[in-house]
Amino acid sequence: MAKEAGFSPPKAKTWCDHLALLSSDLTRIPKSDTPCKRCQDLKETWVCLSCKDVFCSRIVNRHFVEHYEQTNHCLAASCRYHQRIWCFRCEALLDARVIPQLRSFLSPFNVSFFAFVIFIVHIPITHILSHV
């Protein structure tokens, strides 16, 4: 077995040292169709979880990267997939479902998303409740 298998995607981290930067109120986040604050791009936008401003990704005009470089706000959530949270300092995805500080962020949005997942994969509801 070669050690450098390297093909599996990196696993989302279940903890990050920068969670202290999170806004104290993650319940009022801009809507998913909010454009980048600088260039108005709508394709690939991320919301800053420290100040809740919206910027485009590095495949568009890198405005989030600039925001991070200027402010050190390193935690971003994809506007399209809220459960996708990226830490620029860790350079890693964070698993919002298992990080308590991020669960309050997910809950107002993804109620329907999780309901859908529960419907599709038939997660026993008792299993979910035991983790609340």
Ranges of H-type helices in the chain = 63-71, 100-121, 125-129
Q: Which residue, 66 or 118, is less far from Zn ion as judged by CB?
A: 66
* Dihedral sign for Cα atoms in the order 22, 27, 33, 36: negative
Q: Which residue, 50 or 83, is less far from Zn ion as judged by CB?
A: 50
> 110 is written with which tokens?
């993804």
> Cβ of residue 60: shortest distance to Zn ion, in angstroms?
6
Q: Which residue, 41 or 95, is less far from Zn ion as judged by CB?
A: 41
The percent helix, strand, coil of the chain (3-state, each to 5) is 30, 15, 55
Is the distance from CB of 55 to CB of 128 less than 8 angstroms? Answer: no
Q: Which residue, 69 or 113, is less far from Zn ion as judged by CB?
A: 69
Contacts of 104 by beta carbon, 8 Å cutoff, 6+ apart: 26, 27
> Cβ of residue 113: shortest distance to Zn ion, in angstroms?
24
Query: Contact residues for Zn ion (CB under 5 A)?
Result: 16, 18, 36, 38-39, 41, 48, 50-51, 56, 61, 63, 73, 87, 89-90
> 60 is written with which tokens?
């568009």
> Cβ of residue 27: shortest distance to Zn ion, in angstroms?
17
> Cβ of residue 80: shortest distance to Zn ion, in angstroms?
15
